[in-house]
Amino acid sequence: MKKISIDNAEGQVLAYDITEVSLEKKIKNRAFKRGHVICANDIEYMKNLGRRNIFVMDGQDTDVHEDDAARMTAPLAAGENITYDKETSEGKVSFYAETDGIFHVDKEKLLAVNSLEIPSMPTLHDGFPVKKGAQVAAFRIIPLVCSEELMNSVKQILDKPILSVNPYKIKTACILVTGNEVYEGRIKEGFIPKLSAKLKALGVEVTATAIAPDDREHITRELKTMLEKADLVLTTGGTSVDPDDVTTDAIKDAGVEIVCKGNPIQPGNNCSIGYIGEKTVVCVPAAALFFHATALDIYLPRILAKEKITKEYIANSGHGGLCHFCEKCHFPVCPFGRGGL
């Protein structure tokens, strides 16, 4: 690769992608691709892009070109349920989710790669819920070329894939609404449509719903029936400090082991998670009726991927667990719930 004046470039082979940035056209993309044979008409165009000198191929390169570095790295980094660009653009390769689920990245190895300074590898947060086709990471080297020694260091770090997506495994759920006021028809029930919509968005079918009074035995009986029908049961109501709130006790009577009563996230402090065998029960507090995103939305994707929610994980979720209560909610593309991932 050698540097030459643009005026002497006709007939030469371009050694890198040239990017066009135009506010007027509202674009930032590749104008010329590496390997392009430069013709006379290209020279004025390149000058309009601000180029006076360019790099062309000379057949004597010993360093690793940015395109080759990206192509080498992609298959090393991509793990389960991750795909990537088969062709680089401007020296970059992007990685994508092949399924809906929870994105994971080995943060220690990611740090090691980026600590080499020349490589650049940004990713989504570890634990972020993604849809099939979503971009989850990218890789490029910052200069046009790098040494083979540096690429060998990257290969040593990436001795196993660091990017993966854990697919959602729970496909059915039941909803059990509790509360005398709802059971007796004194107020309109609002949980079932709201929770059903959340579950549907994550690929989960609601197979049964029921409404129970604040009666411990009644709730336990309904819950046991639902646990025979689905892998996940969401219960609502009866989770606060009122004397009639018996839902949590009724859940325990059904044999469910509650991980811990409540959690540090706001809104949704009274959301509790429990397990019985391979099945999960989530106590959903009233906050889920009034806020777009609550503790339920932080924990639910991991629950669906059958990633165990532990006491330690719940405690860690307090970091970043305070909602910003924005006028227009952008969750999950926001800081809420990301600190504890």
Concatenated DSSP letters for 274-331?
EEETTEEEEEEPTHHHH-SS-HHHHHHHHHHTT----HHHHHHTTTT-B----SS--T
Our count of domains for the chain comes to: 3
Place of tokens 């004025």: 44
pLDDT at 144: 85
Q: Tell whether 206 and 245 lie within a shared domain.
A: yes
d(C-alpha 247, C-alpha 297), whole Å: 21
3-class SS at 111? helix
Contact 255, 285 (CB under 8 A): no
338 within some domain: no
305 within some domain: yes
Place of tokens 């995103």: 293
pLDDT at 245: 78
d(C-alpha 141, C-alpha 65), whole Å: 9
91 within some domain: yes
Structure tokens at 35: 């390997």
pLDDT at 60: 62
Q: Tell whether 22 and 70 lie within a shared domain.
A: no
Q: Tell whether 199 and 297 lie within a shared domain.
A: yes
Q: Tell whether 44 and 105 lie within a shared domain.
A: no
Contact 157, 109 (CB under 8 A): yes
d(C-alpha 317, C-alpha 337), whole Å: 6
Residue 223 identity (one-letter amino acid): L
Q: What DSSP letter does each residue of 146-194 carry, written as one string?
A: E-HHHHHHHHHHTSS--EEEEE----EEEEEEE-HHHHTTSS---HHHH
100 within some domain: yes
Contact 182, 189 (CB under 8 A): yes
Q: Taking the chain (341 residues) in consecutive chunks of 10 residues, what is each chunk's mean pLDDT?
A: 85 85 84 84 87 80 86 98 94 97 98 95 97 98 90 97 99 95 91 97 97 94 95 87 79 95 94 96 94 96 97 95 95 87 57
341 within some domain: no
Query: Whole-prediction pTM value?
Result: 0.85
Last residue of a domain, one of 133, 166, 199: 166
d(C-alpha 338, C-alpha 265), whole Å: 11
Q: Tell whether 188 and 103 lie within a shared domain.
A: no
pLDDT at 61: 64
Q: Tell whether 124 and 247 lie within a shared domain.
A: no
pLDDT at 319: 95
CATH number at residue 15: 3.90.105.10
Q: Tell whether 97 and 181 lie within a shared domain.
A: no
Q: Tell whether 95 and 79 lie within a shared domain.
A: yes
CATH number at residue 161: 3.90.1170.30
Q: Tell whether 153 and 249 lie within a shared domain.
A: no
pLDDT at 2: 84
d(C-alpha 102, C-alpha 14), whole Å: 41
332 within some domain: no
Distance of CA 259 to the CA centre of its chain: 24
pLDDT at 31: 86
Q: Tell whether 48 and 99 lie within a shared domain.
A: no
Q: Tell whether 261 and 215 lie within a shared domain.
A: yes
Structure tokens at 158: 């990436």
* Structural domain range at position 24: 2-56
Q: Tell whether 198 and 286 lie within a shared domain.
A: yes
